[in-house]
């Protein structure tokens, strides 16, 4: 996937769901994975020509693992001229050493989100951009069906009432396959997660299940995505 294609799909999402207004200051949540790094490129590229002028900040919430080297992310943000902030936490210690969580992902996500929102607010941002792609949206819907018994997924734009922040998902039309292609073409400096639960989660199970079902039923993922777009899930109406 070329940068021009990434920008085109990003702009389509931003325009369709009115994600960016004039004067916005947007924090990009940077995990170090391919999705958030592609989002850095997408929003920096959009910033150059989008009619609504906006500022960017990049934020990484470090969980406290020793082997989490962010030097290449620092260099990329310097290259893109985006201010970069690392929030150092002891989330890993709390979850794995103190609480010894058997299913750590939900609590970890909640704590990371809290730290990210707090720093975004401190930096004067009114929006947070997250790197969720098309498959993330479908996987979340399926996880909700399987484990909560309801048809639901996160919306393109969400208002966080307590923090008075909006979260936006500009990569919602981009597939994971396209992001992998973009990562390879532009040599994105991906930092592998040192989390011991990485790759052994319900989300990973759902990802593999959907891949298998797609092989047996070609076009399934497109149909599932269309079902979300035509649903009554809050925030998906245009």
Give the tens place of pLDDT for each residue, 67-118: 889 999 999 999 999 999 999 998 888 888 777 777 777 888 889 999 999 9
How high is the pLDDT of residue 95? 84
Any idea which residue has 């936490």 for tokens?
A: 89
126-136 mean pLDDT: 97
d(CA 64, CA 106): 17
Dihedral of CA atoms 98, 30, 190, 75 in degrees, nearest 10, equals -120
In this structure, is residue 238 part of a structural domain?
no
d(CA 124, CA 229): 32
Closest to 126 measured CA to CA, from 166, 155, 161, 162: 166
d(CA 143, CA 72): 33
Q: Which domain holds residue 214?
A: 3-229
Structural domains counted in the chain: 1
In this structure, is residue 105 part of a structural domain?
yes
d(CA 235, CA 238): 8
First-to-last alpha carbon distance for the chain, in angstroms, is 27
DSSP 158: E
Which stretches within 128-191 are classed as H helix?
134-148, 176-186
How high is the pLDDT of residue 75? 96
Residue percentage of the chain with pLDDT more than 70: 98
pLDDT band at 120 (very low <50, low <70, confident <90, very high): very high
Do strands 157-160 and 165-168 pair parallel, antiparallel, or not at all (unpaired)?
antiparallel
- Indicate if the pLDDT at residue 16 is higher than 90: yes
- Indicate if the pLDDT at residue 66 is higher than 70: yes
Could you tell me which residue, 91 or 216, shows the higher pLDDT? 216
In this structure, is residue 208 part of a structural domain?
yes
In this structure, is residue 236 part of a structural domain?
no
Closest to 203 measured CA to CA, from 116, 114, 133: 133
Could you tell me which residue, 101 or 27, shows the higher pLDDT? 27
Any idea which residue has 């975004």 for tokens?
A: 120
The CATH number for 166's domain is 3.40.50.620
In this structure, is residue 214 part of a structural domain?
yes
How far, in whole angstroms, is CA 69 from its chain's centroid? 20
How far, in whole angstroms, is CA 36 from its chain's centroid? 6
For the ranges 15-19, 47-51, 111-115, 193-197, the lowest mean pLDDT is seen at 193-197
Closest to 233 measured CA to CA, from 168, 165, 124, 150: 150
Tokens of 101: 């969580």
Closest to 173 measured CA to CA, from 154, 156, 152: 156
d(CA 71, CA 156): 31
- Indicate if the pLDDT at residue 17 is higher than 80: yes
Dihedral of CA atoms 9, 115, 193, 98 in degrees, nearest 10, equals -150
In this structure, is residue 237 part of a structural domain?
no
- Indicate if the pLDDT at residue 65 is higher than 90: no
In this structure, is residue 235 part of a structural domain?
no
How high is the pLDDT of residue 199? 63
- Indicate if the pLDDT at residue 232 is higher than 90: no
């Amino acid at each position: 996937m070329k940068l021009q294609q990434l920008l085109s799909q990003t702009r389509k999402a931003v325009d369709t769901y009115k994600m960016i207004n004039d004067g916005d200051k947007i924090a990009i949540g940077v995990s170090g994975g391919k999705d958030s790094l592609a989002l850095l490129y997408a929003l920096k590229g959009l910033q150059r020509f989008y009619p609504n002028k906006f500022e960017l900040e990049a934020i990484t919430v470090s969980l406290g693992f020793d082997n989490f080297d962010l030097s290449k992310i620092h260099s990329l943000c310097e290259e893109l001229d985006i201010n970069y902030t690392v929030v150092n936490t002891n989330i890993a210690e709390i979850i794995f050493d103190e609480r010894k969580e058997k299913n750590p992902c939900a609590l970890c996500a909640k704590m990371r989100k809290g730290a990210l929102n707090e720093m975004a607010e401190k930096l004067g941002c009114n929006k947070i951009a997250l790197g969720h792609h098309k498959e993330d949206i479908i996987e979340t819907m399926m996880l909700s069906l399987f484990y909560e018994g309801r048809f639901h997924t996160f919306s393109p734009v969400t208002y966080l009432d307590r923090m008075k922040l909006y979260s936006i998902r500009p990569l919602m039309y981009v597939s994971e396959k396209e992001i992998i292609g973009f990562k390879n073409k532009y040599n994105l400096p991906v930092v592998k997660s040192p989390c011991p639960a990485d790759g052994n989660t319900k989300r990973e199970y759902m990802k593999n299940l959907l891949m298998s079902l797609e092989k047996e039923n070609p076009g399934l993922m497109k149909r599932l995505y269309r079902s979300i777009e035509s649903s009554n899930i809050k925030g998906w109406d245009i």
